[in-house]
């Protein structure tokens, strides 16, 4: 048979091999040809081979040294050595989960009333706005007056103020001194002459007073 028909086999002592032809296992013959990794080929009884649950390999319930090579068991293949095995039974323990019974669980909710009388604490806050409207020098801290907390509320305001400012002074000092400056000036004086007329129209001259 070709290599496409090979199936993995593991012996009791851990030796690995393959079925050279899987057909003998599925037919009515009593033996199958197994080739181990060492190159040894032996005929093993079919009842010593157990296919695993996942179908990954056959378990051989014999050790490799228990298989006897070179003994014919009937029809011998012309190109294959035959081995007469010594059969020993072994126990394979497997676990399976099965349901042995079922339980139906019901949960019932019951209600009851209980009186709860516990004191509760309630705290209320009364806020009162008190107008102040006065000038302060700086920020004021929060203060307490008994159970009352006083929080100052500040606001910056612009103050326009008119004041007199002394810009400068004028210092005036009087000084007196006597100066003599001779000068020539022209003064005018008027003289008046009074003339009296005589009857004969002759003037009589009289000197007049000087003004």
23 pLDDT higher than 50: no
Range scoring the smallest mean pLDDT among 43-47, 111-115, 183-187, 204-208 = 204-208
Beta strands (DSSP E) in the chain are 8-10, 16-19, 31-36, 41-45, 49-51, 58-60, 67-69, 83-85, 143-145, 148-150, 193-197, 203-207
pTM metric for this prediction: 0.30
Q: Is 48 exposed, middle or buried (0-12, 13-18, 19+ CB in 10 A)?
A: buried
Examine the pLDDT at 69 and tell me if it is beyond 60.
Answer: no
- Ranges of each domain in the chain: 3-85
Tell how strand 8-10 and strand 58-60 pair up.
parallel
Return the number of other C-beta atoms located less than 10 Å from residue 3's C-beta. Answer: 7
pLDDT at 22 over 60: no
Can you tell me the distance from the alpha carbon of 25 to that of 29, in angstroms, rounded to the nearest whole number? 7
CA distances from 75 to 20, 43, 162, 179 (A): 17, 12, 139, 179
CATH code of the domain occupying 3-85: 2.30.30
């Amino acid at each position: 048979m070709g290599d496409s028909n090979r199936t993995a086999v593991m012996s009791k002592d851990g030796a690995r091999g393959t079925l050279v032809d899987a057909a003998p296992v599925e037919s009515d013959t009593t033996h199958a040809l197994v080739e181990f990794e060492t190159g040894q080929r032996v005929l093993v009884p079919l009842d010593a081979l157990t296919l695993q649950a996942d179908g990954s390999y056959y378990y051989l319930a014999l050790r490799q040294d228990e298989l006897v090579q070179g003994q014919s068991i009937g029809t011998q293949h012309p190109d294959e050595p035959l081995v007469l095995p010594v059969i020993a039974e072994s126990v394979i323990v497997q676990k399976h989960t099965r349901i042995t019974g079922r339980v139906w669980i019901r949960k019932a909710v019951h209600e009851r009333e209980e009186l709860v009388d516990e004191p509760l604490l309630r705290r209320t806050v009364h806020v009162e706005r008190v107008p102040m409207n006065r000038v302060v020098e700086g920020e004021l801290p929060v203060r307490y007056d008994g159970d009352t907390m006083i929080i100052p509320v500040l606001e910056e305001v612009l103050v326009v103020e008119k004041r007199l400012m002394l810009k400068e002074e004028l210092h005036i000092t009087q000084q007196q001194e006597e100066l003599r400056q001779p000068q020539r000036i022209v003064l005018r004086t008027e003289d008046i002459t009074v003339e009296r007329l005589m009857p004969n129209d002759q003037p009589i001259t009289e000197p007049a007073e000087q003004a």
